[in-house]
Chain A
Amino acid sequence: MIVGPELRAWTADIRLQRGTRTAADRVAREWTAGPVHHRFSEKMAGLPERRAETVARAVVELFADDAWVDTLIGVLAEAMRRDSFFEPPFRHLDSDIHSGLIVFEDDNVSIAAGVSGVAHLAAKKSASRHATSIAFSGQVGVLKFVKAGGARLSFWEAPLITDRFTAATAGRCRKTGFRALADGEILTVDGRFQSFVIDRAETDLVILQATVKPDQAPLSVEYDARTHEYVGCAAADDSASRIQMIATLLRKLDGEGAFEAIAGFLGHPHFFVRWHLMRELLGLDAEAALPHLKRMAARDPHPETRRAARSVLDRIEAPARASGRRRKAA
């Protein structure tokens, strides 16, 4: 790394660093107290119900006015002009082709403003020597293409991702259509069964992107872009993955109260979380886990979880049955 004189001066001077942080804090404060953030908050607080469709409709109304994007970019650009070490005080939302900032977030929605680079898009498409996927996010999304970049999108559908999802019944995805986008166009994409591909674009796209939080599917699902066959799935919600990781950590640490803490999550809505927790409980104390295992084998709503629990139960009960038979024979 070559350190230029400006960076050398900044890293050596705590006052300069404080100045950078103060500027970021000021922008954050002004944005949070400002009219756009206030409008988003009010709209979400006033929703009659916490349902995906209701939130998505409210976002479509909010996205009708996008003049604030220019204002926000202006504020950030001005702060960067004053201080080249200024960083926008928003969480980043980045991928291979997209750079965004999350400008609003509450229990109902997260809203990001960002740019999809046409050069990155082209590079990604031409460099795709490996197998590629069309992803279904499991979340309802609202996208406003403030600048559509002359893009053409294709639209895709797959079987609805539900709490009973299985790989065996995932089916295939199919293209339902394609069309060119116009500047300012708003799309609602229900990622529980819909997706899209940016087939081509002429210039960068400026996109407002809302991710709706209520009624998410448990999983995001991938289909092969060439064969349209099911490829795999992942937890749609990071809290599910965190619960799984913490449960494994608790089992490995074997601390006091670990069993009870893990068992407290056995009613989790996602089938794969429930089975993960059951495995950890059996690893901690199989005898104490047995009543939970029996309940899961008999009543879990997901067929694979029931089947896995049944198979462990059979394994546990088989020696007991054999020993009973031996006692009877004696």
Chain B
Amino acid sequence: MHPTHEMIRMAVEDLPELETEVAISGSCKQQEVGGAICLGIAAGIAVYIAA
């Protein structure tokens, strides 16, 4: 948005996160040994985050 008034912007990195951290779709914290995700997911952004 181009400012039409003096905008006050908060620093996003200073804003609180939720206590429940939610990773991007398709990612996992540990190596999975069980579940349908082991067989691949039909639609997703395949990002693997190592523990």
Contacts and interface: CB of A to CB of B under 8 A. Distances in A.
Contacts of B9: 282-286
Nearest to B37: A135
Contact of A167 (B20, B31, B39, B44): B20
A222 B12 contact: no
Chain A interface residue count: which class?
Answer: 35 or more
Contact of B43 (A110, A128, A254): A110
Contacts of B51: 130-131
A128 B33 contact: yes
Nearest to B15: A279
Nearest to B5: A287
Interface in B7-24: 7-12, 15-24
Given A124-B33, A285-B8, A114 B39 contact: yes
Interface of A: 93-98, 100, 102, 105, 110, 112, 114, 116, 124-125, 128, 130-137, 139, 141, 143, 154, 156, 165-168, 189, 191, 195-198, 207, 209, 211, 219-220, 222, 224-225, 231-238, 240-242, 244-245, 251, 254-260, 271-272, 275, 279-280, 282-288, 304-305, 307-308, 311-312
12 contacts: A128-B33, A131-B31, A133-B32, A134-B34, A166-B19, A166-B20, A168-B19, A225-B30, A237-B25, A284-B1, A286-B10, A304-B18
Interface of B: 1-2, 5, 7-12, 15-45, 50-51
